[in-house]
Amino acid sequence: MSKFKVLVTDYEYETLQYEEEVLNEIDAEFLKAQCKTEEDVIEAAQGVDGLLVQYAPISKKVFAALPDLKVVARYGVGVDVVDLEAATEHGVAVVNVPDYCEDEVSDQAFALLMACARKTVLLNNDVKSGNWDFNVGKPIHRLRGSTLGIVGFGKIPRKLAEKAKVFGFEMLVYDPFVEQEVEEEYGVQLVELDELMKRSDYVSVHVPLNEHTKHLIGAEEFELMKESAFIINTARGAVLDEAALVTALDNGQLAGAGLDVTEEEPIAKDSPLLEMDNVIINPHVGWYSEEAQVELQTKAAQGVADVLTGKGAKYLVNQEVVID
C-alpha cells in the first residue's frame, strides 16, 4: 500500500510522466482527473494527501470536505484558483512554481509590445488578404527614446526591463512594494500609477490577481493614457477592466492592446475585442516553452512531495500556515 495519495485535479499536458517520476520516489499513489467544479474535486479527491491543480477551483467548501488534505500545488505562478485563507485555516500548505517561466513571459510581453508597435499582425493580415501597402500600418513610431511603463516589478517584469533597456526605452515602474534601490539597479524610475499611465507609450502589466488588483486598470486609468499608447497584459485578464478597455478603444483613448490573457478564458466568441484590428489576443501562451513546461510539472510535483515527506516547501505561498 502506498504511503500517500496525490490527485491531479485537471490538466492540459500531453503527459504526466514528470509528476509520476517525482511522486514514485515517495511511494505515492498517483490519481488523475479532469475536474471543472468544486463538486468534481470533492468527489475525486476523497482521502488524498495532496492536490496538483491547474484551473479547478479549490474553495473553502473543498477544504472543508477533504480532511486528509495536506498540500495543494498550483501549476503556475498565480494561485487565484485557491482560497488561501481557507487553506491556512485547515492547515493545508499551498505551493506554486514562481520561477519556471520568467524568460518566457517577459519574452511574450516584449513580443506583444513589438507586434503592436510595428503593426506586425495588422500588416500580415492585410498582405494575406491581397493588399500590399505599408501605409495600412501608419503611424509607426521609433522605439528608442519612447517610454515603457511597467505595472508590478517582480522577477518577470525585471527580466522585461533588462530586455527593453537594450532597445533604448525610458522605463517607469509602479510597484508600492519595491525598494528605491531598484531605480539605479534596473535603470527605471518609480512613479505612481496615474503618472505612469499618463507618460507611457507602452504599458505592460505584471501584477498577480487578488482583491486589491482586480480591475486595477479601468476607465480612469485608460482616460489618462496617450491616444498613441498601447497596453500589454501577460498577467491575469481581470487586472484590466475589460469592458472599460473596449470602451476606451472604441473612443480612441489609446492606440491598441496586446493581450495574452482575458477576463474570461477562453474569450467569449462575441467579445468586441475579437473584431478590433488594433488588438492582438493570444490564448494565455506566455508561460509556455517545451523547457518551461517540463520545469513546471516537475517543480509542482516536487512541492507536493517535499511537504508530504516533511522537508518543507521551497515555494510556500501561505507562509502563516501551521502544518501538522
Report the catalytic residues.
236, 265, 284
- pLDDT at residue 322 in the model: 83
- pLDDT at residue 323 in the model: 76
| 142 φ/ψ sector (left φ>0, alpha ψ -120 to 50, else beta) | beta
Nearest to 73 by CA among 234, 296, 224, 281: 296
Is the pLDDT score of 206 beyond 80?
yes
Please compute Rg for the chain using Cα positions.
21
Is the pLDDT score of 113 beyond 90?
yes
Is the pLDDT score of 183 beyond 90?
yes
Indicate the class that CATH gives domain 102-281.
alpha beta
What is the SS3 assignment for the chain? CCCEEEEECCCCCCCCHHHHHHHHCCCEEEEECCCCCHHHHHHHCCCCCEEEECCCCECHHHHHHCCCCCEEEECCCCCCCECHHHHHHCCCEEECCCCCCHHHHHHHHHHHHHHHHHCHHHHHHHHHCCCCCHHHHCCCCCCCCCEEEEECCCHHHHHHHHHHHHCCCEEEEECCCCCCCHHHHHCCEECCHHHHHHHCCEEEECCCCCCCCCCCECHHHHHHCCCCCEEEECCCHHHECHHHHHHHHHCCCCCEEEECCCCCCCCCCCCHHHHCCCEEECCCCCCCCHHHHHHHHHHHHHHHHHHHCCCCCCCECCCCCCCC
Nearest to 203 by CA among 229, 227, 180: 229
- pLDDT at residue 292 in the model: 97
User: Which residues contact residue 52 at a Cβ distance below 8 angstroms, ignoring those fewer than 6 apart?
Assistant: 6, 7, 8, 9, 11, 19, 73, 75, 300, 301, 304
Taking only the tens place, the pLDDT of each residue in 267-302 is 999 999 999 999 999 999 999 999 999 999 999 999
Q: What is the widest separation between alpha-carbon atoms in the chain?
A: 70
* Domain range list for the chain: 4-100+290-308, 102-281
- pLDDT at residue 312 in the model: 86
Taking only the tens place, the pLDDT of each residue in 23-72 is 999 999 999 999 999 999 999 999 999 999 999 999 999 999 999 999 99
Taking only the tens place, the pLDDT of each residue in 235-255 is 999 999 999 999 999 999 999
Give the neighbor-by-neighbor strand order of the sheet with 256-259.
Answer: 189-190, 170-174, 147-151, 202-205, 230-233, 256-259, 279-281
Question: What gap in Å lies between CA 256 and CA 278, rounded to an integer?
Answer: 5
Do 102-281 and 4-100+290-308 fall under one CATH topology?
yes
Is the pLDDT score of 212 beyond 90?
yes
Give percent of the chain above pLDDT 90: 97
Question: What gap in Å lies between CA 53 and CA 11, rounded to an integer?
Answer: 8
Q: Is the distance from CB of 100 to CB of 299 less than 8 angstroms?
A: yes
Nearest to 20 by CA among 298, 284, 322: 298
User: Span 207-215, mean pLDDT?
Assistant: 94
Which CATH architecture fits 4-100+290-308? 3-Layer(aba) Sandwich (3.40)
For residue 275, count other CB atoms closer than 10 A to its CB: 8
Question: What gap in Å lies between CA 9 and CA 25, rounded to an integer?
Answer: 21
Is the pLDDT score of 187 beyond 80?
yes
Q: What is the chain's length?
A: 324
Q: Is the distance from CB of 202 to CB of 148 less than 8 angstroms?
A: yes
Mean residue pLDDT of the chain comes to 97
User: Span 97-117, mean pLDDT?
Assistant: 97
Q: Is the distance from CB of 253 to CB of 278 less than 8 angstroms?
A: no
The grid coordinates of residue 114 equal: 513589438
- pLDDT at residue 102 in the model: 96
pLDDT band at 201 (very low <50, low <70, confident <90, very high): very high
pLDDT band at 15 (very low <50, low <70, confident <90, very high): very high
